[in-house]
Amino acid sequence: MIFANNRPIRRAVILLVWVPLVSGCAALVSGAASGFAENLSLAVLNQDDPETAKAALPSYMVLIDSLIEGNPDDADMLTAGAEMYASYGAVFADDNERARRLTAKARRYALTAMCDRYAGACGWRSMNHDEFVTSLDGVRERDADYLYTYGFATLAYMRAHSAETDTLAELPQAEALFEHYLAIAGDDVSPSTHVYMGILKTLLPPALGGKPDEARAHFETAIEMSDGKDLSAKVEYARGYAKLLYERELHDRLLNEVLAASPHSNGLTLTNVIAQRDARVLLDEANDYF
């Protein structure tokens, strides 16, 4: 496993943060104002200029901090904060030290929320792998969304802290977490989870434990679930699976499909703009890689 420039863990979160990033805004208000929060979330997700989103979001991060101060045991509020901090730290942090701070806070918020919902989660940070997997069995469908947020915050944290020796040891836990989420989430499963699983299963080559066949199935499921509209799934399919197995034809086909598509899709525009940017880079580098 090579962690130079944080690349393996970076790609596990860099394109897939936008839906969690702003979905937490809905926890900021309630009652008659809930429509405003939902519209705010959708406005950011439909933003086709990432720099505008970058400039706007810190104000909401500070706002949610203040609300958590007044409601420190509110699992929904903590989850909203975790999603915002994890997303911003993974994508917009200007330096790695800042990314480490932001994602560490995200993980604290997410774990506190999980601990509030399920007492067995309170000791997750000190458990070994077997203990962690056994504990996951106690997380039921009603808490699937909180588990997803903890997993997302963990991936963001791992990306920012990838230079640390303990990070590699957490990869099996992250995979087990999302496998359990997929098992309990039912019809409400987030398509992004299949992309996360595809990435996790291709971080290592097959000879070292990677599972590319399982990864391919996850990537194709993610594409199918979004009806091909989530362009980031195709980018990660090309980057994770096609490059790993040196399948140049599949690699180029997926990326050219991304570039040929319109990025504008309700709730996915910001993700797609970034996906197209990365697709261009990957195609430009393809001759040097294959």
Domain assignments of the chain as residue spans, ordered by start: 4-190
As a whole number of angstroms, the distance between CA 251 and CA 22 comes to 31
Which range, 32-36, 70-74, 238-242, has the best average confidence (pLDDT)?
A: 238-242
Supply the DSSP symbol for 48. Answer: S
Token reading at 91: 């994508």
| DSSP-derived 3-state class of residue 28 | coil
Tell me which of 241 and 20 has the higher pLDDT: 241
User: What are residue 69's phi and psi, to 5 degrees?
Assistant: -55, -40
pTM of the model: 0.83
269, pLDDT greater than 90? yes
The pLDDT tens digits of the residues spanning 12-68 come to: 444 444 445 545 555 555 444 445 545 666 677 788 998 988 888 898 888 889 989
**Phi-psi bin for 146: left (phi > 0), alpha (psi -120 to 50), beta?**
alpha
70 has a pLDDT exceeding 70? yes
Long-range contacts of 187-193 (CB under 8 A, 24+ apart): 188/144, 188/145, 190/19, 190/148, 191/221, 191/222, 191/225, 191/226, 191/230, 191/233, 192/16, 192/19, 192/20, 192/222, 192/230, 193/148
State what percent of residues in the chain have pLDDT above 70: 86
- Integer-rounded Cα Rg, in Å, for the chain is 18
- CA distances to 62, 127, 168, 259 from 104, rounded to whole Å, are 16, 18, 16, 34
Residue 157 pLDDT > 50? yes
Q: Write the DSSP assignment of 251-282 as a string of letters.
A: HHHHHHHHHHS----TTTHHHHHHHHHHHHHH
* pLDDT on residue 6: 40
Cβ atoms 243, 289 nearer than 8 A: yes
Query: pLDDT above 90 covers what percent of the chain?
Result: 57
> What's the pLDDT score for residue 169?
80
Mean residue pLDDT of the chain comes to 86
- 215: pLDDT strictly greater than 60: yes
Number of Cβ atoms within 10 Å of the Cβ of 248: 14
pLDDT for 25 equals 53
Please determine, for residue 9, whether its predicted confidence score (pLDDT) is greater than 70: no
State the pLDDT at residue 13.
Answer: 44
The dihedral sign for the CA sequence 206, 210, 214, 216: negative
Cα 96 from Cα 103, distance rounded (Å): 10
pLDDT in tens, 73-129: 999 889 988 988 998 898 888 899 999 999 999 999 999 999 999 999 999 999 999
The answer to which of 25-34, 59-68, 147-156, 249-258 has the lowest mean pLDDT is: 25-34
For residues 253 and 190, the model is more confident at 253
Q: State how far the Cα of 122 lies from the Cα of 186, in Å rounded to an integer.
A: 25
Strongest mean pLDDT among 59-73, 82-96, 161-175, 230-244: 230-244
Residue 106 phi, psi dihedral angles, 5° rounding: -60, -45
Work out the pLDDT band at 273, boundaries 50, 70, 90: very high
- What fold characterizes domain 4-190? 1.25.40
Contact residues for 3 (Cβ-Cβ < 8 A; gap 6+): 9, 162, 163, 167, 168
Lowest mean pLDDT among 42-46, 133-137, 184-188: 42-46
The confidence score (pLDDT) of residue 80 equals 86
